[in-house]
């Protein structure tokens, strides 16, 4: 097979986007016993890179849009030890979850074995409906003392 056009379009065929066009090429190549496997593999790698770039672009656009809509979270709790107020996790989640969800994001948390001694490994993954995701990790030492050095909470507080 020569290097001329790999795809011949039938007049009845309608290709709606790049993914459909690549799928059509892959299908034709898969049924052509003379089509070189290494060329098909390179085409698939190229398609995967293109899709990853598109997913990241959609992720970044949605993130910018979501951030522009994030509300101010009102402080709803008081810390008598420090004489300060703060927004608890429930208030933060109630305010921001509708915004990030509307833009196609989901959040998941997990733990991992920390490399640093006497630390907890905590991870957060921000996933988008496009398929792109970002993972954040932290190794956090236990902290069970307050501002005056007195024990005032559990070590994972």
Distance CA 50, CA 46 (A): 6
Biggest distance spanned by C-alpha atoms of the chain: 79
In whole angstroms, how large is the CA radius of gyration of the chain?
25
Per-residue confidence (pLDDT) for residue 19, from 0 to 100? 66
Per-residue confidence (pLDDT) for residue 157, from 0 to 100? 67
The residues, any chain, with a CB within 8 Å of residue 119's CB and separated by 6 or more, are 139, 140, 141, 142
Contact 112, 94 (CB under 8 A): no
Per-residue confidence (pLDDT) for residue 3, from 0 to 100? 41
pTM of the full structure: 0.72
Instruction: From first to last of the 157 residues of the chain, give the pLDDT tens digit.
Output: 444 434 343 444 444 456 677 777 777 777 777 878 888 888 889 889 999 999 999 999 999 999 999 999 999 999 887 889 999 999 999 999 999 999 999 999 999 999 999 999 999 999 999 999 999 999 999 888 877 888 877 777 6
Per-residue confidence (pLDDT) for residue 14, from 0 to 100? 42
Per-residue confidence (pLDDT) for residue 15, from 0 to 100? 40
């Amino acid at each position: 097979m020569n290097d001329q056009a790999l795809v011949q379009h039938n007049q009845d065929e309608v290709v709606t986007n790049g993914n459909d066009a690549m799928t059509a090429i892959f299908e034709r190549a898969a049924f052509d016993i003379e089509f070189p496997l290494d060329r098909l593999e390179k085409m698939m790698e190229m398609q995967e890179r293109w899709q990853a770039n598109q997913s990241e672009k959609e992720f970044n656009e949605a993130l910018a849009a979501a951030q522009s809509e994030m509300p101010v979270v009102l402080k709803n709790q008081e810390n008598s030890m420090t004489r300060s107020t703060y927004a608890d996790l429930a208030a933060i989640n109630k305010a921001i979850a509708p915004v990030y969800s509307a833009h196609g994001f989901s959040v998941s948390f997990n733990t991992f074995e920390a490399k640093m001694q006497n630390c907890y490994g905590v991870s957060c993954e921000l996933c988008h409906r496009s398929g792109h995701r970002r993972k954040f990790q932290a190794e956090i030492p236990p902290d069970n003392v307050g501002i005056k050095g007195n024990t005032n909470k559990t070590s994972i507080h």
